[in-house]
Amino acid sequence: MTSRRFRRVAATVAVSLVALLLSLVGPSGAALAAGYPPLPVALDRGFLGNLSAPTLTPGDAGAIVFTVGDPLSTALVGAELTFQVYAFNGFPGNATATVSVAGAPVLSNATSSGGSVGVSVGTLGVGGLFRGSVAVATSSSTPSGAFAVRTALSFASNGTDYRLESRGWFNATVWSEATELPNGSATLNLTVLGVSGVIPETAVVTTTSSYATALAVVLAAAAVFVGIGAYLYFRRGPASTSGAR
């Protein structure tokens, strides 16, 4: 496996591994949204796409790239996309923690930098597509591991405010209540989450050559859970009413 291919696989699987561990311990903070109207399930994946984060050697820099689309029948007004580093999964050892890690990656755009940045998308017409990126910088003290980055998209459309958030904004209890029926079947109840929809998140992976073997072992184990997660996602039925789907 080439170095580029290894890093691409590492970045993809690390996101699922971080999500798995956080489902056990729960990320810090609850959802920011409260009472936003739900949107049809079929539209969720049309808002945030082509999301890709870099795999970096400590001290290097890269970028999170993405697209924002408008799958609605009306324009998105005042759209803003937020990225926030919120959790860390260390290699080797799989030590999971909320982010207070020294040397954590710094996100930046044209106007601000830090652990959280917002990207102003502005007004996006029906069927429109916005392409953007957020710079990511690490330092020589950045530890090897996966830094989970949660996302949130806010906008108005036809006079109504909407907000979509990724998994990382919800603690384990709320997420469980919203995604599992009493009989154990998978679902997604946006009324419980208080948001208009759920969008993807990503992770910035940092690694050095000395950790390549340990990282490969961790990712191989995580691949098992990726399959389980994909099965649960794709076996969901079509959307139902009242924000449950």
Peptide bond into 92 cis (omega under 30): yes
Mean pLDDT of the chain: 78
Would 242 be classed as within a structural domain? no
Structure tokens at 79: 């759209």
Amino acid 144: pLDDT: 87
Q: What CATH number does residue 105 fall under?
A: 2.60.40.10
Structure tokens at 134: 């957020």
Nearest to 65 by CA among 85, 81, 50, 80: 50
Structure tokens at 234: 């794709």
Structure tokens at 112: 């601000």
The pLDDT of 216-231, averaged and rounded, is 40
Band of pLDDT at residue 7, cut at 50, 70 and 90: low
Amino acid 34: pLDDT: 52
Amino acid 93: pLDDT: 53
Distance, CA of 229 to CA of 231 (rounded, Å):
5
Amino acid 212: pLDDT: 53
Number of domains observed in the structure of the chain: 1
147: β partners: 88, 204
Structural domain that includes position 142: 3-234
The pLDDT of 189-202, averaged and rounded, is 94
| Cβ-proximal residues to 50 (8 Å cutoff; 6+ apart), any chain | 65, 66, 67
| Cβ-proximal residues to 127 (8 Å cutoff; 6+ apart), any chain | 69, 70
Report angle CA 226, 231, 234 to the nearest 5 degrees. Answer: 120
Question: Which is higher by pLDDT, 194 or 33?
Answer: 194
Band of pLDDT at residue 215, cut at 50, 70 and 90: low
Pairing of strands 202-206, 55-56: parallel
Would 156 be classed as within a structural domain? yes
The pLDDT of 75-104, averaged and rounded, is 81
Q: For the chain, what percent of residues have pLDDT higher than 90? A: 53
